[in-house]
């Protein structure tokens, strides 16, 4: 047969689109034409496929070979088309029959020796494939872990082109150990960090806990070396573990970025991403000309995005976070198309109080002028700061705290409280469109979900005296719900509300 058709998927964002690979071998002089908007990596597939076929012992058809990737309008990129093109050629030359390949998805890059190599984005590709009704796939053995995660898909992993052909023609398995899941390996990489390591910092710990309960964005301000970064790094350990579904979603994004290896594929620990403060806006929100890659905000999906030394960030970089903070998504438009990645993260910012970093409560040893101090934190723009619910000081631990051998609470203890508080809030919001305190819509805050009367009176007083803006009013109320959940109150009391007020408005350095 001189005509064949093989199917694979290509990713646009996290969405997989089915691509039909048709091969026609026609009479004429030897030539190879690849149709359907291939990018450079894909155009190069011609030489990889040719060498792989010849070195695996198959003959290259010395005729006019036309490979068409349809739909023709969709730009195709990457090396994961190597294997499907090779299989389509083998079907066209009669080595493999078309029936044997029926409804199997092929993915993989070929080495010149015919070996099958790791490709990016296998997990989201397979997830989309199952949604579109496919049940079988052939993937490189280096991607086996990802294949095993998709339980509704029967994934065969192979290490070479010839073992794929052996599987197709005889149904026998190329790799002996392939189907055995080493599931422990997928779960194992849990954090070795613990809140126990942090000395003192009672109020900052408390702020972190409230932040974790309601997913409130948080800003730590404090002198260098007091533990801002330490605390931030440990917030993932007090967040509730990710559900299976969420863990898959997070792993899918990491798979597209090609960094899944650094994280257990099914790790339930929320991701912690800390871009350097010199990072660019495209690296933060995602970008790239051919393949639009997820940025830091998407890698931190369902986890923590930690920006250390936030005032040192280039102007615009932090402000590019405003849109994803609002919508939980990033939409990136490039010449190759528009891509949407999820970006539902908890933002943690850390900053020094002034350029020299020593302007703390006692202000001892600070060399900065009052203007410098005022300007420094003003580099965080108003609209961004407005979205940060909790602002807290991280003071240097005292001598007594350093000497003490009584440790603070461990992550496990705090996490249990956070989970309990989240459970009670989820119960409260049953049937609502949100489940976290930080997401209560303003209308509901004034209707169904108000605080106690005395608490509301307190807030209205602050509003009257213009110490609180309308937006601040809502923010404090949302925080008050988290404080109430932590205290086990069914409705925020006046005390809860006052604590919430302090957490948000208590830092005069920002006014």
Partner 1 sequence: MKQRKSSLKELGANGEEAVSQYLQQKGMRVIDRNWRIKGGEIDLVCDDHGAIVFVEVKTRTSNMYGNPFDAITPDKAFRLQRLALAWMAMNHRWGQEYRIDAAGVWMDGFGACEIEHRKAVL
CB neighbours of 161 closer than 8 A, spacing ≥ 6? Answer: 52, 53, 56, 83, 86, 110, 114, 115, 116
Query: Any contact of residue 327 with partner 1 (CB under 8 A)?
Result: no
Which of 27, 172, 326, 508 lies at the binding interface for partner 1 (CB under 8 A)? 27
Nearer to partner 1, 64 or 417 (CB): 64
- Exposed (0-12), middle (13-18) or buried (19+): which is 408, by Cβ within 10 Å? middle
Q: How far is the CB of 27 from partner 1 (least distance, A)?
A: 6
First CA to last CA across the chain, in angstroms?
76
Query: Any contact of residue 403 with partner 1 (CB under 8 A)?
Result: no
Query: Any contact of residue 30 with partner 1 (CB under 8 A)?
Result: yes
Q: How far is the CB of 55 from partner 1 (least distance, A)?
A: 16
Question: Which residue's structure tokens are 């499907």?
Answer: 84
The strand pair at 109-110 and 104-106 is best described as unpaired
* DSSP H/E element including 459: helix 453-464
Q: Within a 13 Å sphere around the CA of 481, how many CA atoms are in the beta-carbon half?
A: 28
Nearer to partner 1, 26 or 72 (CB): 26
Q: How far is the CB of 303 from partner 1 (least distance, A)?
A: 53
Interface with partner 1: number of residues (CB under 8 A):
5
Give the DSSP per-residue string, 483-501. HHHHHT-SS--HHHHHHHH
Query: Any contact of residue 43 with partner 1 (CB under 8 A)?
Result: no
Q: How many residues does the chain have?
A: 511
Which of 28, 133, 171, 382 lies at the binding interface for partner 1 (CB under 8 A)? 28
Nearer to partner 1, 63 or 76 (CB): 63
Query: Any contact of residue 62 with partner 1 (CB under 8 A)?
Result: yes
Q: How far is the CB of 52 from partner 1 (least distance, A)?
A: 18
Beta-bridge mates of residue 304: 272, 346
Helix, strand or coil, per DSSP, at residue 12: strand
Which of 29, 335, 371, 406 lies at the binding interface for partner 1 (CB under 8 A)? 29
Nearer to partner 1, 27 or 172 (CB): 27
Helix, strand or coil, per DSSP, at residue 42: helix
Q: How far is the CB of 56 from partner 1 (least distance, A)?
A: 18
Binding piece for partner 1, criterion CB under 8 A, among 6-14, 21-29, 79-87, 432-440 = 21-29
Distance in angstroms (rounded) separating the CA atoms of residues 375 and 161: 62
Nearer to partner 1, 62 or 398 (CB): 62
Positions touching partner 1 (CB under 8 A) are 27-30, 62
């Amino acid at each position: 047969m001189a005509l064949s058709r093989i199917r694979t998927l290509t990713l646009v964002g996290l969405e997989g689109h089915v691509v039909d690979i048709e091969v026609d071998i026609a009479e004429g002089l030897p030539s190879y034409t690849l149709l359907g908007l291939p990018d450079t990596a894909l155009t190069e597939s011609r030489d990889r496929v040719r060498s792989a076929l010849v070195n695996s012992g198959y003959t290259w058809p010395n005729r006019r070979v036309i490979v068409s990737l349809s739909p023709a309008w969709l730009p195709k990129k990457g090396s994961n088309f190597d294997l499907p093109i090779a299989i389509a050629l083998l079907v066209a030359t009669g080595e493999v029959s078309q029936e044997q390949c029926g409804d199997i998805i092929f993915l993989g890059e070929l080495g010149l020796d015919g070996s099958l190599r790791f490709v990016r984005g296998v997990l989201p590709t397979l997830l989309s494939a199952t949604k579109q009704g496919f049940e079988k796939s052939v993937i490189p053995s280096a991607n086996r872990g990802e294949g095993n995660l998709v339980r509704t898909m029967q994934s065969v992993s192979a290490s070479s082109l010839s073992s794929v052909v052996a599987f197709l023609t005889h149904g026998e398995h190329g790799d002996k150990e392939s189907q055995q899941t080493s599931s422990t390996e997928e779960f194992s990489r849990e954090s070795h960090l613990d809140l126990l390591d942090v000395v003192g910092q009672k109020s900052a710990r408390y702020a972190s806990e409230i932040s974790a309960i309601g997913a409130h964005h948080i800003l730590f301000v404090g002198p260098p070396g007091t533990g801002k970064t330490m605390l931030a790094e440990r917030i993932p350990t007090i967040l509730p573990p990710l559900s299976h579904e969420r863990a898959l979603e997070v792993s899918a994004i990491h798979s597209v970025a090609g960094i899944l290896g650094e994280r257990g594929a099914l790790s339930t620990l929320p991701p912690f991403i800390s871009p350097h403060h010199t990072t660019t806006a495209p690296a933060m929100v995602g970008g790239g000309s051919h393949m639009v890659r997820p940025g830091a905000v998407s890698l931190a999906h369902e986890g923590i995005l930690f920006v250390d030394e936030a005032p040192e960030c280039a102007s615009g970089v932090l402000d590019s976070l405003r849109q994803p903070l609002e919508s939980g998504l990033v939409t990136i438009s490039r010449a190759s198309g528009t891509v949407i990645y999820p970006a539902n993260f908890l933002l943690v910012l850390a900053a020094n109080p002034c350029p020299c970093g020593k302007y703390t409560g006692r202000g001892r040893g600070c060399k900065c002028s009052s203007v410098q101090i005022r300007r420094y934190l003003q580099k965080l723009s108003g609209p961004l700061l407005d979205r940060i619910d909790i602002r807290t000081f991280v003071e240097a631990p005292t001598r007594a705290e350093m000497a003490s051998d009584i440790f603070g609470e461990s992550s496990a203890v705090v996490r249990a409280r956070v989970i309990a508080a989240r459970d009670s809030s989820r119960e409260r919001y049953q049937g609502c469109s949100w489940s976290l305190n930080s997401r209560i819509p303003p209308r509901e805050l004034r209707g169904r979900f108000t605080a106690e009367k005395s608490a509301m009176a307190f807030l209205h007083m602050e509003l009257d005296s213009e110490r609180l803006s309308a937006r601040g009013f809502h923010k404090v109320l949302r925080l008050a719900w988290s404080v109430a959940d932590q205290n086990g109150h069914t409705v925020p009391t006046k005390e809860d509300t006052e604590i919430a007020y302090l957490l948000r408005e208590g830092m005069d350095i920002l006014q």
